[in-house]
Amino acid sequence: MTLEELKKRCEKAGFKYAFGKFEKATEPPHLVAITTETNNFFADNKVYSKDMPIQLDYTYITKNIEEQNKIENEILGDIAWNRTEDTYLEDEKVWQISYFFEI
């Protein structure tokens, strides 16, 4: 998967999506992807494999199992991923789940 394909999958599943951040305030539910670090394989001063760890944050106000299933089955269905528990962000008054995977 590429970042462009991730964007297409998110939008096809009906989510508002941004890489990094939204340019304007965007009401949940939405998805935001960020890179967390690189995980390259290199030797002899050359990078042989570039793996990009991604954190995909699902932000919502009301729990919606159907939306969560879309993320896990339609968007991330063919890749290995981990996720966090539902976390309440008090200062923003929203809930968030973060999915972690590599592309």
Q: Taking Cα atoms as reference points, which of 52, 27, 54, 55 lies closest to residue 41?
A: 52
pLDDT at 88 over 90: yes
Neighbours of 102 (CB within 10 A): 13
pLDDT at 103 over 80: yes
Which element (helix H / strand E) includes 4? helix 3-12
The pLDDT score that the predictor gives to residue 48 is 77
Domain ranges of the chain: 3-102
Give the architecture-level CATH label for domain 3-102. Answer: 2-Layer Sandwich (3.30)
The pLDDT score that the predictor gives to residue 66 is 96
pLDDT tens readout for residues 27-78: 999 999 999 877 777 788 888 777 889 999 999 999 999 999 999 999 999 9
